[in-house]
Amino acid sequence: MKTIFLLILIFATPIFSSFASPSSTSTYATPIEDQLTLKILDMANHFQERPTLFIQCQLRYAIDCEQLRRIFFEKLHVLERVDNDTAMIKVLLTDESGPQGILVHSKWSSNDDISMVDFSLPDLLLPTEFDAIKIQTEMITLLAQGVLPHIRVKSGLGTEEIIIKSLKNGTTTPPGNSNGPFYMDISLSGSSFRSGIGAVNPDGTSAPSTSSVFANGSVLLNNSTERTRVYVSGNASYSKNTQPGPGNTTLSAENFAPSLLVVGVYSLTKNKRWNVAIMGVQFANPGSNLVRGRNIESGVEYNLVPFRVTESYEFRVRATASNSDDRLVMANDRGNTHENYYQAAFQLYGYWLLLNDKASLTGSISASKNLSHAGYYSASSQLSFSFQISRGVRITTSGSYRYQAKNMRFPGIPDFSNPLQTQFLSGYSGGSYSTSLGISFILGKGSSIYSRDRRFQ
């Protein structure tokens, strides 16, 4: 920022000396952005026609491109906006995320004057703690700084000085990114589950609902790049169901349910509006009537509102299609111990940052339909709240509700005196809800940046 400020003073001094007066000294008290605007407006009077500017914007993190163009041309109405490279002045804006914040690169050029040389400004570093207004001001100041020397050359003011300065002032070498593409998330949580709400047996009689308490642990290893995301998550849950038995006895059953999830995501566009993914899940859960289950899913995701540093929220829609292969402990209500079926699902996902980015609120609603058998469908909603205690420690609480018309895994009429079969109700038709509270530890050099990568989260 010191280098940028010195450049502004070099450009500003000879110009202000030509038209400043005691009554106009208050100009120096205005923000740098406004001083640059006044200089450009004054020098543009030397042109017979409005100078044209093409802002080729490829920003992914700093600010929304169209918002930046709109605000800049509103402030500098003397410049004419052109959306192609026929403009008198052209700038290419790109950015990248780094350990200290967002680094913005600008490359300036002009092709209609042989005396004009490319003029490079130092990279602009936007710290992550900047709010939207500060980032907007810094970006507009950067654009004004780049336009200023071109306007001076075009107007014949200080041509030699600008050319000499541009040759000496090459683009600053970006600082190295100490963040690797990997991070690890280790999570421990406890949850309670109640299901079978309003459920009925296949014979039309009312079925009892059940509740269980679970302990869950998971390890997620993530690798993120600009275009790809790959993560592997291993999860295990343990539960114990106890209920009164005949006489004064107690019946109990323990259940251990492991799963492995592998997800690969590819971004079709650099701004991450379109993502495609393929997911594979392998799991076992005898308490939900599963000896072994396998699910292969593919999907497409579109960002309605992409997450940026200047925004505190994002919204996405997702559509997926999957194939499931279930091996069951007991025959389901169709009399099968092996089910293979296809399913389609749709999801709306939202993410909000709160409390100076230390907290987040995540919500989703989804619906799915079994494409192989009529009458098997479900809908669910979930809301999660997370608070970042420190850079690597986060606590999360969540609640969810799910309705399922029928379930391919549930046996016809279970033996409700058997605790293990009672646990099958966790996948029974009807309504169910769950709550959880957990703590997460995020490890790795990439955790500060890539843990915000929510592509197919």
Ordered DSSP codes for 351-364: EEEETTTTEEEEEE
Q: From CA 298, how far away is CA 319, in angstroms rounded?
A: 9
Domain count, the chain: 2
Same domain (yes/no): 160, 205: no
Using DSSP, state whether 271 is helix, strand or coil.
coil
Same domain (yes/no): 247, 386: yes
Average pLDDT over residues 57-64: 85
Q: From CA 390, how far away is CA 100, in angstroms rounded?
A: 17
Q: Identify the domain boundary among 168, 198, 223.
A: 168
pLDDT above 60 for 190: yes
Query: What average pLDDT does the structure give for the chain?
Result: 77
| Residue 436 within a domain | yes
| Residue 175 within a domain | no
Same domain (yes/no): 98, 188: no
Same domain (yes/no): 306, 380: yes
In 10 A of CB 271, how many CB atoms? 15
Q: What angle do CA 403, 406, 412 make, to 5 degrees?
A: 130
Strands in 80-81's sheet, in edge-to-edge order, are 80-81, 52-58, 89-98, 101-109, 124-127
Same domain (yes/no): 117, 215: no
| Residue 302 within a domain | yes
| Residue 176 within a domain | no
Is residue 413 within 8 Å of 365, Cβ to Cβ? no
Q: Residue 362: what pLDDT?
A: 95
Same domain (yes/no): 411, 332: yes
Domain that residue 209 falls in: 182-450
Alpha carbon 93 to its chain centroid, in Å, reads 21
Same domain (yes/no): 164, 248: no
| Residue 381 within a domain | yes
Mean pLDDT lowest among 44-53, 168-177, 211-220, 276-285:
168-177
Same domain (yes/no): 134, 203: no
Q: Identify the domain boundary among 135, 168, 201.
A: 168
| Residue 457 within a domain | no
Same domain (yes/no): 215, 133: no
Q: Residue 11: what pLDDT?
A: 40
Is residue 364 within 8 Å of 348, Cβ to Cβ? yes
> What is the band of 145 on the pLDDT scale with cuts at 50, 70, 90?
confident
Q: Is 248 exposed, middle or buried (0-12, 13-18, 19+ CB in 10 A)?
A: exposed
Is residue 251 within 8 Å of 244, Cβ to Cβ? yes
Q: Residue 2: what pLDDT?
A: 38
> What is the band of 394 on the pLDDT scale with cuts at 50, 70, 90?
very high
Q: Identify the domain boundary among 168, 196, 224.
A: 168
Same domain (yes/no): 195, 103: no
Same domain (yes/no): 53, 77: yes
CATH number at residue 395: 2.40.128.130
Average pLDDT over residues 161-182: 46
> What is the band of 260 on the pLDDT scale with cuts at 50, 70, 90?
very high
| Residue 455 within a domain | no
Q: What angle do CA 141, 145, 149 make, to 5 degrees?
A: 165
| Residue 173 within a domain | no
CATH number at residue 26: 3.40.50
Same domain (yes/no): 433, 365: yes
